[in-house]
Amino acid sequence: MRKLAAGNWKMNGTAAALAEVSALAQAHPAPRCDVLLCPPATLIARMADLAKGTAIKVGGQDCHAKSSGAHTGDISAEMLVDSGASHVILGHSERRTDHGETDAQVLAKAEAALKAGLTAIICIGETEAERDAGRTLDVVGTQLHGSVPAHATAANLVIAYEPVWAIGTGRTPTLSEIAEVHAFLRTRLTARIGSAAADVPLLYGGSVKPSNATEIFAVPHVDGALVGGASLKAADFGAIVAALSAA
């Protein structure tokens, strides 16, 4: 399976930040993994133009379940494709928290993304209270089952396990905790989409940095990372790309 280093810029970056994309492309012309950046929607088209002919792919951070219509402020999967995106992040915990997105809504968005030809990166993860209550596997299993289209394939699906309490906090689960969840997700994904699950990249996300990337990438069933803060600077994200290339 081709591994994936994905950066989620969240609500960060204006035109000046595009210099980081050029720097990343120059420093890593032929990485041995896929490299994806998901900037704010305002930068997708410009970043996609800049990334043409490089190893960097560009994705969105959300899409609407409908292809067009009266939905002020929303963006459809077709619009992302039109802007040059190949992927879209769906069901990020910040969307689930800030916008009350449910598994059913994430599923509908994922269906729309696949129909438009995008690869859906579906995010799941437990809160700190859920982990403390021993409910981690229960929570991520339910989210996986509820938000992944049953007809998804290894060519158009990526799963990102992002413990909510590890996002932007500098805290990460232990390597054995990550291993437990990823092995569980592989099994549950097989139940959901069949044998294609063996080749679906399972990303870990939550405070991935150059200093911890190598050990995280050595965990079984970790096929890459979804990186927030450390994806904003080419030097940091490049170091994570290098760690994954070497894994």
Q: What is the DSSP letter of 66?
A: S
Among 64, 229, 236, 242, the residue binding ligand 13P under the rule CB under 6 A is 229
For ligand 13P, which is the closer residue by CB, 61 or 78? 61
126 is catalytic: no
Using CB under 6 A as the binding rule, whether residue 205 contacts ligand 13P is answered as yes
Query: What is the b/e burial string over 77-102, where b = at least 16 CB atoms within 10 angstroms of the residue's CB?
Result: bbbbbebbbbbbbbbbbbbbeeeebe
The piece of 107-115, 144-152, 174-182, 228-236 that touches ligand 13P (CB under 6 A) is 228-236
Using CB under 6 A as the binding rule, whether residue 227 contacts ligand 13P is answered as yes
Using CB under 6 A as the binding rule, whether residue 207 contacts ligand 13P is answered as yes
> Is there a contact between 184 and 213 (Cβ–Cβ < 8 Å)?
no
> Is there a contact between 97 and 125 (Cβ–Cβ < 8 Å)?
no
Which of 84, 35, 38 is closest to 61 using CA atoms?
Answer: 38
Minimum distance from CB of 12 to ligand 13P (Å)? 10
Residue nearest to ligand 13P (CB): 228
Minimum distance from CB of 74 to ligand 13P (Å)? 20
For ligand 13P, which is the closer residue by CB, 65 or 240? 240
Pure H helices in the chain: 18-27, 44-51, 77-83, 93-98, 103-116, 128-132, 136-147, 175-193, 210-217, 234-246
Which of 14, 87, 84, 4 is closest to 51 using CA atoms?
Answer: 84
162 is catalytic: yes
Among 3, 5, 8, 76, the residue binding ligand 13P under the rule CB under 6 A is 8
Using CB under 6 A as the binding rule, whether residue 101 contacts ligand 13P is answered as no
Torsion of CA 185, 85, 78, 3, to 10 degrees: -20
| Annotated active-site residue in 28, 64, 92, 182 | 92
Using CB under 6 A as the binding rule, whether residue 216 contacts ligand 13P is answered as no
Q: Specify burial of residue 55 (Cβ count, 10 A radius: 0-12, 13-18, 19+).
A: middle
For ligand 13P, which is the closer residue by CB, 53 or 100? 100
The residues of the shown chain that bind ligand 13P, judged by CB under 6 A, are: 8, 92, 162, 167-168, 205-208, 226-230
Active site residues: 92, 162
